[in-house]
Amino acid sequence: MIISLISQKGGVGKSALARLLAVEYIRAGWTVKIADLDTMQGTSTKWKARRDRAGITPEVPVEKFATVERAIREAERFDLLLLDGPAHAEQGGRSMAKASDLILIPSCYGLDDLEAQVEAAYELEEGGINRDRIWFVFSRVTGSPAEDEAAREYLERAKINVFEPVLPELPSIRQGHNGGKAASEISFPVIRERAIALALAIATQARSVKEAA
Protein backbone atom coordinates (compact mmCIF):
# COMPACT_ATOMS: atom_id res chain seq x y z
CA MET A 1 0.00 0.00 0.00
CA ILE A 2 1.14 3.56 -0.70
CA ILE A 3 -0.14 6.58 1.21
CA SER A 4 1.09 10.00 0.19
CA LEU A 5 1.17 13.32 2.01
CA ILE A 6 0.72 16.08 -0.52
CA SER A 7 0.48 19.80 -0.14
CA GLN A 8 0.48 23.12 -1.88
CA LYS A 9 1.21 24.91 1.40
CA GLY A 10 4.32 24.33 3.46
CA GLY A 11 4.40 23.44 7.13
CA VAL A 12 0.88 22.02 7.32
CA GLY A 13 1.89 18.78 9.06
CA LYS A 14 2.74 16.31 6.28
CA SER A 15 5.84 15.01 8.00
CA ALA A 16 4.01 14.91 11.34
CA LEU A 17 1.28 12.73 9.81
CA ALA A 18 3.82 10.52 8.04
CA ARG A 19 5.53 9.72 11.36
CA LEU A 20 2.23 9.19 13.16
CA LEU A 21 1.07 6.71 10.52
CA ALA A 22 4.47 5.00 10.35
CA VAL A 23 4.53 4.36 14.09
CA GLU A 24 0.93 3.18 14.29
CA TYR A 25 1.15 0.83 11.28
CA ILE A 26 4.43 -0.63 12.61
CA ARG A 27 2.74 -1.19 15.96
CA ALA A 28 -0.03 -3.03 14.11
CA GLY A 29 2.57 -5.39 12.65
CA TRP A 30 3.11 -3.87 9.19
CA THR A 31 6.49 -3.28 7.60
CA VAL A 32 6.68 0.44 6.80
CA LYS A 33 9.04 2.91 5.21
CA ILE A 34 8.82 6.68 5.05
CA ALA A 35 10.17 8.00 1.75
CA ASP A 36 11.42 11.49 2.52
CA LEU A 37 10.92 13.35 -0.74
CA ASP A 38 11.73 16.70 0.83
CA THR A 39 15.43 16.41 0.05
CA MET A 40 16.03 20.10 0.78
CA GLN A 41 14.83 19.93 4.37
CA GLY A 42 14.98 16.19 5.07
CA THR A 43 12.53 16.65 7.95
CA SER A 44 11.65 12.97 8.30
CA THR A 45 15.28 11.90 8.00
CA LYS A 46 16.33 14.31 10.75
CA TRP A 47 13.43 13.21 12.95
CA LYS A 48 14.51 9.58 12.52
CA ALA A 49 18.04 10.50 13.58
CA ARG A 50 16.66 12.13 16.77
CA ARG A 51 14.48 9.09 17.38
CA ASP A 52 17.42 6.71 17.02
CA ARG A 53 19.61 8.86 19.26
CA ALA A 54 16.90 8.73 21.93
CA GLY A 55 16.63 4.96 21.50
CA ILE A 56 12.87 5.04 20.85
CA THR A 57 11.23 1.88 19.54
CA PRO A 58 9.83 0.78 17.21
CA GLU A 59 12.52 1.75 14.74
CA VAL A 60 11.05 3.63 11.78
CA PRO A 61 12.80 3.13 8.44
CA VAL A 62 13.22 6.48 6.64
CA GLU A 63 15.08 7.11 3.42
CA LYS A 64 15.56 10.21 1.28
CA PHE A 65 14.65 9.93 -2.38
CA ALA A 66 15.44 12.50 -5.04
CA THR A 67 12.61 11.35 -7.29
CA VAL A 68 9.13 9.94 -6.81
CA GLU A 69 9.90 7.15 -9.29
CA ARG A 70 12.77 5.84 -7.19
CA ALA A 71 10.76 6.08 -4.00
CA ILE A 72 7.88 4.11 -5.48
CA ARG A 73 10.17 1.16 -6.22
CA GLU A 74 10.43 0.65 -2.45
CA ALA A 75 6.74 -0.17 -2.26
CA GLU A 76 7.42 -3.78 -3.22
CA ARG A 77 9.61 -4.30 -0.17
CA PHE A 78 7.22 -2.88 2.44
CA ASP A 79 3.60 -3.40 3.40
CA LEU A 80 3.22 0.37 3.52
CA LEU A 81 5.22 3.10 1.83
CA LEU A 82 4.55 6.63 3.08
CA LEU A 83 5.48 9.33 0.58
CA ASP A 84 6.33 12.45 2.59
CA GLY A 85 6.19 15.10 -0.09
CA PRO A 86 7.71 18.54 -0.28
CA ALA A 87 5.71 21.76 -0.09
CA HIS A 88 4.49 23.15 -3.43
CA ALA A 89 4.29 19.66 -4.87
CA GLU A 90 2.92 20.62 -8.31
CA GLN A 91 5.35 18.60 -10.41
CA GLY A 92 5.95 15.63 -8.13
CA GLY A 93 2.48 15.78 -6.65
CA ARG A 94 0.69 14.18 -9.53
CA SER A 95 3.08 11.26 -9.88
CA MET A 96 2.97 10.73 -6.12
CA ALA A 97 -0.81 10.73 -6.22
CA LYS A 98 -1.03 8.41 -9.23
CA ALA A 99 0.99 5.75 -7.41
CA SER A 100 -0.93 6.12 -4.15
CA ASP A 101 -3.88 4.24 -2.76
CA LEU A 102 -4.70 7.17 -0.51
CA ILE A 103 -3.70 10.83 -0.76
CA LEU A 104 -3.72 12.89 2.40
CA ILE A 105 -3.79 16.67 2.22
CA PRO A 106 -3.32 18.37 5.59
CA SER A 107 -4.93 21.74 6.26
CA CYS A 108 -5.67 24.13 9.09
CA TYR A 109 -9.06 25.80 9.44
CA GLY A 110 -8.22 29.12 7.78
CA LEU A 111 -9.17 29.98 4.22
CA ASP A 112 -5.54 30.78 3.39
CA ASP A 113 -4.83 27.08 3.86
CA LEU A 114 -8.14 25.65 2.71
CA GLU A 115 -8.28 27.51 -0.60
CA ALA A 116 -4.74 26.55 -1.58
CA GLN A 117 -5.22 22.94 -0.55
CA VAL A 118 -8.59 22.59 -2.29
CA GLU A 119 -6.94 23.92 -5.43
CA ALA A 120 -4.25 21.25 -5.07
CA ALA A 121 -6.95 18.58 -4.67
CA TYR A 122 -8.78 19.79 -7.78
CA GLU A 123 -5.55 19.70 -9.76
CA LEU A 124 -5.13 16.08 -8.77
CA GLU A 125 -8.70 15.32 -9.79
CA GLU A 126 -8.14 17.01 -13.12
CA GLY A 127 -5.09 14.82 -13.49
CA GLY A 128 -7.31 11.76 -13.24
CA ILE A 129 -7.11 10.96 -9.54
CA ASN A 130 -10.39 9.63 -8.19
CA ARG A 131 -12.01 11.87 -5.59
CA ASP A 132 -12.52 8.94 -3.20
CA ARG A 133 -8.77 8.63 -2.81
CA ILE A 134 -8.19 12.26 -1.83
CA TRP A 135 -8.75 13.05 1.84
CA PHE A 136 -8.14 16.20 3.85
CA VAL A 137 -6.80 16.00 7.39
CA PHE A 138 -7.30 18.89 9.78
CA SER A 139 -3.81 19.20 11.17
CA ARG A 140 -2.04 21.69 13.46
CA VAL A 141 -5.47 23.11 14.19
CA THR A 142 -6.18 25.65 16.88
CA GLY A 143 -9.58 27.21 17.26
CA SER A 144 -13.14 26.82 18.26
CA PRO A 145 -15.74 24.17 17.41
CA ALA A 146 -17.41 26.88 15.28
CA GLU A 147 -14.26 27.19 13.18
CA ASP A 148 -14.09 23.43 12.81
CA GLU A 149 -17.69 23.41 11.64
CA ALA A 150 -17.17 26.26 9.19
CA ALA A 151 -14.12 24.55 7.70
CA ARG A 152 -16.05 21.30 7.31
CA GLU A 153 -18.91 23.14 5.60
CA TYR A 154 -16.43 24.74 3.23
CA LEU A 155 -15.01 21.35 2.28
CA GLU A 156 -18.45 19.85 1.95
CA ARG A 157 -19.40 22.57 -0.55
CA ALA A 158 -16.13 21.88 -2.36
CA LYS A 159 -17.01 18.15 -2.36
CA ILE A 160 -13.82 17.23 -0.56
CA ASN A 161 -13.52 14.36 1.94
CA VAL A 162 -12.20 15.13 5.41
CA PHE A 163 -11.59 12.93 8.42
CA GLU A 164 -13.56 13.46 11.61
CA PRO A 165 -10.58 13.20 14.05
CA VAL A 166 -8.14 16.12 13.92
CA LEU A 167 -4.56 16.66 15.03
CA PRO A 168 -4.50 19.77 17.23
CA GLU A 169 -1.53 22.12 17.34
CA LEU A 170 -0.05 21.54 20.79
CA PRO A 171 3.28 22.29 22.49
CA SER A 172 3.40 18.70 23.76
CA ILE A 173 3.20 17.32 20.21
CA ARG A 174 5.89 19.73 19.04
CA GLN A 175 8.12 18.73 21.95
CA GLY A 176 7.43 15.07 21.22
CA HIS A 177 8.57 15.65 17.64
CA ASN A 178 11.69 17.37 18.96
CA GLY A 179 12.46 14.24 20.95
CA GLY A 180 11.94 11.83 18.05
CA LYS A 181 8.39 10.81 18.92
CA ALA A 182 5.17 10.71 16.92
CA ALA A 183 2.02 12.40 18.25
CA SER A 184 0.73 9.00 19.38
CA GLU A 185 3.78 8.49 21.60
CA ILE A 186 3.69 11.55 23.82
CA SER A 187 2.99 11.21 27.51
CA PHE A 188 -0.49 12.81 27.64
CA PRO A 189 -3.07 10.02 27.23
CA VAL A 190 -5.86 12.26 25.91
CA ILE A 191 -3.69 13.69 23.15
CA ARG A 192 -2.18 10.31 22.39
CA GLU A 193 -5.65 8.84 21.96
CA ARG A 194 -6.72 11.64 19.64
CA ALA A 195 -3.69 10.98 17.46
CA ILE A 196 -4.38 7.24 17.46
CA ALA A 197 -8.04 7.89 16.54
CA LEU A 198 -6.89 9.89 13.52
CA ALA A 199 -4.42 7.18 12.46
CA LEU A 200 -7.16 4.59 12.79
CA ALA A 201 -9.62 6.61 10.70
CA ILE A 202 -6.99 7.00 7.99
CA ALA A 203 -6.10 3.29 8.08
CA THR A 204 -9.77 2.33 7.82
CA GLN A 205 -10.20 4.55 4.76
CA ALA A 206 -6.98 3.28 3.18
CA ARG A 207 -8.18 -0.29 3.56
CA SER A 208 -11.57 0.45 2.07
CA VAL A 209 -10.09 2.28 -0.93
CA LYS A 210 -7.64 -0.58 -1.48
CA GLU A 211 -10.42 -3.17 -1.29
CA ALA A 212 -12.57 -1.23 -3.74
CA ALA A 213 -9.70 -0.99 -6.24
Ligand X SMILES: Nc1ncnc2c1ncn2[C@@H]1O[C@H](COP(=O)(O)OP(=O)(O)OP(=O)(O)O)[C@@H](O)[C@H]1O
**Which residues lie near ligand X (CB under 6 A)?**
7, 10-16, 38, 41, 43, 87, 140, 167-170, 173-174, 177
Look at residue 174 and give the partner it binds from Mg ion, ligand X, none, a contact being a CB closer than 5 to 8 Å depending on partner kind: ligand X
Which ranges of 76-188 does DSSP label H, i.e. alpha helix?
90-99, 111-126, 145-157, 171-178
- Cα–Cα distance for residue pair 71/80, rounded to 1 Å: 12
Beta-strand ranges (E) seen in the chain are 2-5, 32-36, 62-64, 80-84, 102-107, 134-141, 161-162, 167-168
| Piece in contact with Mg ion (CB under 5 A), picked from 11-19, 26-34, 89-97, 184-192 | 11-19
Closer residue to Mg ion (CB): 38 or 101? 38
CB of 137 to ligand X, least distance (A): 11
Total of residues contacting Mg ion (CB under 5 A):
4
Q: Confirm if 208 and 46 have CB atoms less than 8 A apart.
A: no
Q: Between 43 and 139, whose beta carbon lies closer to Mg ion? A: 43
Beta-bridge mates of residue 80: 32
Query: Of residues 4, 7, 8, 43, which one binds Mg ion by CB under 5 A?
Result: 43
Contact, 169 vs 141, CB < 8 A? yes
CA-CA distance, 155 to 186, in Å (whole number)? 30
Whole-number minimum distance, CB 182 to Mg ion, in Å? 14
> By CB under 5 A, is residue 14 in contact with Mg ion?
yes
Given Mg ion, ligand X, none, residue 102, with its beta carbon under 5 to 8 Å by kind, binds none
Considering the complex, state which of residue 177 and residue 192 has its C-beta at the smaller distance from ligand X: 177
Stretch that binds Mg ion, among 31-39, 70-78, 136-144, 147-155 (CB under 5 A): 31-39
With CB under 5 A as the contact rule, the residue among 8, 15, 117, 205 that binds Mg ion is 15
Q: How far apart are CA 182 and CA 189, in angstroms?
A: 13
Query: At closest approach, how far in Å is the CB of 38 from Mg ion?
Result: 5
Q: What is d(CA 52, CA 56) in angstroms, rounded to the nearest whole number? A: 6
* Sites of contact with Mg ion (CB under 5 A): 14-15, 38, 43
